[in-house]
Chains A and B, each alone.
Chain A
Amino acid sequence: MSLFSLFGALEVGLIFSLVALGVFISFRLLRFPDLTVDGSFPLGGAVCAVLIANGMDPFLATIIATLAGALAGMVTAVLNVHLKIMDLLASILMMIALYSINLRIMGRPNIPLIMEPTMFSILQPQWLADYIARPLILVMVVIAAKLLLDAYFTTRQGLAIRATGSNPRMSRSQGVNTGAMVILGMAISNALVGLAGAMFVQTQGGADISMGIGTIVIGLAAVIIGESILPARRIFYLTLAVVIGAVIYRFFIALALNSDFIGLQAQDLNLITAVLVVIALVIPLIKQRLTRRRHV
């Protein structure tokens, strides 16, 4: 693998570690199986691309894209909490609704950003090659997001969100407004995914309507890989595992795609991901069975 594709993998891995952090919050902390992600990732991308293409400051565009993601997560949560629609179904509804919404926002299937200024083109120092500068900037964004989340989940509010996911009935009896906590948690989760979408279009040269397909599986894969590499309990290590999982996952993919003898191509990505997730899920099962056999 060339240095160039190595940095490329790192770059995309870091972007998807934001998705993975979001998926970690919904699936693990809130225990809310949320597929909104497949829509909120391109939503963040679409909003950011359109705003930049219309001359808005890339930083402001990124912030608005993040808020758009948060809004999408809130709608899914409200469908579930207040309209009593099953969690998974609510998120699927939101996901397909977002496909239409994203097309509306973009107005056409893709928006190129090659000639426009981006967060990265502005922050990149002259003396540094862009393929090195981009992952460097992303590392800082991801570390900041991770540390902010760590701090947040040790606050009273963050604790209430974690308690809601762990034992909603008990949380209510301790005075936690669990409905509000689900909405808040889902907003934070999808805000991160929207932010990832905004980063993605700014590094990949534009937005495409189909860029969200499989986002949730990639996010889940990252979470699961992270958890099996670094099993942890404390929030600091949990989020660290998730970030590392996303980067490692991306290196696997790059390796698979770059090895000619395997003969895999870009369109096989979702299949590889699905297989990876299955493997990561099955390994603990096999381990369990092996240890049990040993004890019998």
Chain B
Amino acid sequence: MLSAQNLKITFNPGTPIETKALQGLSLEIPTGQFVTVIGTNGAGKSTFLNAVSGDLPVDSGAILIDGDDVTRLPVWSRATRVARVFQDPMAGTCEDLTIEENMALAQQRGQRRGLRRAVRVDMRDEFRAHLATLGLGLEDRLTDRIGLLSGGQRQAVSLLMAALQPSRILLLDEHTAALDPRTADFVLQLTARIVAEKQLTTMMVTHSMRQALDIGDRTVMLHQGQVVLDVAGDERKGLDVPDLLHMFEKVRGEKLADDALLLG
């Protein structure tokens, strides 16, 4: 379970370019729930995900994972509980390392990094089996540098890597945004499959309202660093894209530029 309580983050406080990115954001996500997160550019979605992963320190508020306060923990020590896939396919893998080395790195998340061999033969079989499920032929390229793969292939491997070790929270920040429509769809299906298989508590940021409603169990809309819309269950099932836009207008009491949200 993820619990974000009254999170506040202000960039460049006290200067003319002060930005209040999170303004008392609170959100509870029960274990195993898949939440899609939407909102205009600058709404604070990435900032929120970075706060949960520990990449950004919060000014105030608390972040609890399964009841443990992780607010002050650095990224690397949160990694046993939080896995993530970045928007940029280059960001989630080490391009100088081979596919198997990248996967070994992810597989040892949360374990002691001692003097045992990083990649052992039995691991290779396991990695091959995982890669084979992608259907991209990567199972025969274990010792290729991951920098040689395409963005979509790297993003697919990133997803596998995120799920190699059991973690409680999976964070996906527009992880299909840099991919062509067909590859994006493939990675999205893969996401849904992995999340269902591993019963991960997931937050997925997307700019596609369609995706936001079709995938997952619950949809949350952020605006100016706060949750302004939160729908799940039957209420969500009955919703369509125009309804979502309408509800957003009602909540904020302001007109919304459709194109800003309908991208994708």
Does A162 make an interface contact (CB < 8 A)?
yes
Interface residues of A in 147-183 (CB under 8 A from B): 152, 154-160, 162-163, 166-167, 169-178
Counting CB contacts under 8 A, is A292 at the interface? no
Chain A residues within an 8 Å CB radius of B138:
none
**Chain A residues whose CB sits within 8 angstroms of the CB of B142 once the complex forms:** none
Are A175 and B91 in contact, CB atoms less than 8 angstroms apart?
Answer: no
Asked if A166 and B96 sit within 8 Å, CB to CB, the answer is: yes
Interface-facing stretch out of B101-109, B192-200, B242-250: B101-109
Question: How many A-B contacts are there with CB distance less than 8 Å?
Answer: 92
Provide the bound-state CA to CA distance between A155 and B91, in Å: 23
Q: Which of A154, A156, A233 contacts B145 (CB 8 A)?
A: A233
Of A155, A163, A171, A177, most buried by chain B (CB within 10 Å of CB) is A163
For the complex, would chain A's binding face be called helix, strand, loop or mixed by DSSP majority? helix
User: Which of B77, B93, B97, B118 interacts with A155 by CB under 8 Å?
Assistant: B118
With a cutoff of 8 Å between Cβ atoms, the chain A residues found around residue B108 in the complex are 156, 174-175
Contact in complex: A173, B75 (CB < 8 Å)? yes
What mask results when residues 128 to 156 of chain B are scored 1 for a CB within 8 Å of chain A, else 0? Answer: 00000000000000000100000000000
CB of B261 to closest CB in A, whole Å:
28
A158 with B91: CB separation less than 8 A? no
**B93 contacts which chain A residues (CB < 8 A)?**
167, 170
Contact of A169 among B82, B91, B104, B117 (CB under 8 A): B91
A156 engages B113 (CB within 8 Å): yes
B114: interface (CB < 8 Å)? yes
Please name all residues of chain B whose beta carbon is closer than 8 Å to the beta carbon of A173 when the two chains form the complex. 53, 55, 75-76, 79, 82-84, 92
A157 touches B113 (CB 8 A): yes
- Once the chains bind, are B96 and A175 in contact (CB under 8 Å)? no
| Shortest distance between the CB of B98 and any CB in chain A (Å) | 9
* Complex alpha-carbon distance, A119 and B101, angstroms: 39
Collect the chain A residues with CB atoms within 8 Å of residue B96's CB: 162, 166
Size class of the contact patch on chain A: 20 to 34
Give the complex CA separation of A163 and B95 in angstroms.
Answer: 9
A165 → B minimal CB distance (Å): 8
Give the contacts of A121-141 with B (CB-CB under 8 A). Answer: none
From residue 208 to 225 of chain B, which have CB atoms closer than 8 A to chain A?
none
- List chain A positions with a Cβ less than 8 A from chain B: 152, 154-160, 162-163, 166-167, 169-178, 233
A-B contacts, 27 of them at CB < 8 A, read: A155-B114, A155-B117, A155-B118, A156-B115, A157-B114, A158-B118, A162-B94, A162-B101, A163-B94, A163-B101, A166-B95, A166-B97, A167-B93, A167-B95, A169-B91, A171-B105, A172-B75, A173-B55, A173-B79, A173-B82, A174-B105, A174-B106, A174-B108, A175-B108, A175-B109, A177-B77, A178-B76
User: B residues near A, CB below 8 A?
Assistant: 53, 55, 74-77, 79-80, 82-84, 86, 91-97, 101, 104-106, 108-119, 145, 161
6 closest A-B pairs by beta carbon, nearest first, are A175-B79, A159-B118, A166-B94, A172-B75, A175-B109, A156-B113
17 further interface pairs, Cβ-Cβ under 8 Å (given A156-B116, A160-B105):
A152-B115, A155-B114, A155-B115, A156-B108, A156-B112, A157-B113, A162-B96, A162-B97, A163-B105, A166-B96, A167-B94, A170-B91, A171-B105, A174-B79, A174-B109, A175-B108, A176-B105
